[in-house]
Each structure stands twice: as C-alpha cells, then as structure tokens.
Amino acid sequence: MSVSPESVKKLREMSGAPMMECKKALEEAEGDLEKAFTVLRKRGQAAAAKKASRVASEGLVGSYIHAGGKIGVLVEVNCESDFVARNEEFVQLVHDLAMQICATDPRFVRKEEVTPEVLEREKEVLREQAAASGKPEAVLGRIVEGKLAKFYEENCLYEQHFIKDLTGGQTIGELINSKIAKFGENITVRRFARFKVGEGVAKNPAETSGTE
C-alpha cells in the first residue's frame, strides 16, 4: 500500500529512523503508526544484537550542566568510527544522554551491572513490603520479580524512558538501538558521572565536634 508523506514524517519524528526505513515500516504495518513504530523498534533491537560484540573504541565525552550550575554530568558514548563520532546526530545523542542522566540520576548503565548485593537488598525490601500488605507466601516471589522491573527502570539508564519522547514509549536502550540501526555501527554508553553541588561533601571536622 502507499503511505502519505505526512505519516512518514510523523514516524520519523517518533522514532528518529531514516525516512526510507519509516516508509517501509508503515507499508508493512498497513499505515498504522503505532504498529510501524513497533516494527522499527524490533529492527533496532535485532541490529543492535548483531553488532553488540563489535569493538566500539571511538566516540565522544559529552557534558550537560543544569540551569544554575548546580548539577553537571559527564558521559562517554562509544561508536566504531570517528566519522560517526563527528556526525551531528551522534553528537545530539550524546547530549541527550547527558541530559537524561542529569534529570533521572541513574545508578547503573544497564541492569546487568546491578551488583548482587544491591539486587538482593532490593529484593528483600520488596519482599517485606509485599508480606506486610498481607499477600500469601506462595505469590511473594512473583510479586517481587514484577516490582523489580520498576527498580531497573528507575536505576538503570538503558531501562529508563527517554524524557524527550513525549509518548513515553521509547526507552534509552531502544533509542540507542535505533541509532545503531541507522549508522550501522555498535554504539554503547561506557560510563557516566553525575555531580550535584553539596552532595557527598564531608562536613568540616570543626562543625562535627562543635569546636573551633
């Protein structure tokens, strides 16, 4: 079937995918925008899986300073070539990721990086909450596993919903996958650091002891 230029433009705005990919996805979805968006997300995930083992040693260190200079972020995003690293869209991606980290304060890049100690502690808290609500013992495990998804979404960058996606449907992982599909290179967030004025600053010993 033929699709309208307006639909192609709308899907591109939603997904960030190339125009031709948007057109193909709309044709496959028979003009349904939501279904076409799902098609693009699945293609991005497949492309990312194929390229995940490839070495990404180029890239950029991006920064974002919140209004007023109270919060700042540094993030390293890697790709495979300097050509992609200098691409305007990649630069924008790095900036958006820094802004995301500034706004949401994740603790980990991916859920696979959550340490066993942190995970077990979180499970124990969730189990206690479920038990306190009177849920039967037999279902506590399933309840805990279900609530862990929310924990990952709040604490792991790749699981978070992209703050600039007003539909709320695209995660950071999916955003990165869409860029992998577009550029044909592995793209990955290697590390980040978030700084907030006054956070983690030790008190003056004189203040602690009450002496001059």
> Does CATH number 1.10.8.10 belong to domain 1-51?
yes
Residues 6 or more apart whose Cβ sits within 8 Å of residue 81: 58, 185
CB 171, CB 48: distance < 8 Å? no
**What local confidence, expressed as pLDDT, does residue 192 receive?**
96
Return d(Cα 207, Cα 172) in angstroms, integer: 43
- Assess whether the region 1-51 and the region 55-114+156-198 belong to the same CATH fold: no
The residue extents of the domains of the chain are 1-51, 55-114+156-198, 115-153
| CATH class of the region 55-114+156-198 | alpha beta
pLDDT value for 51: 65
How sure is the predictor about 44, in pLDDT bands with cuts at 50, 70 and 90? low
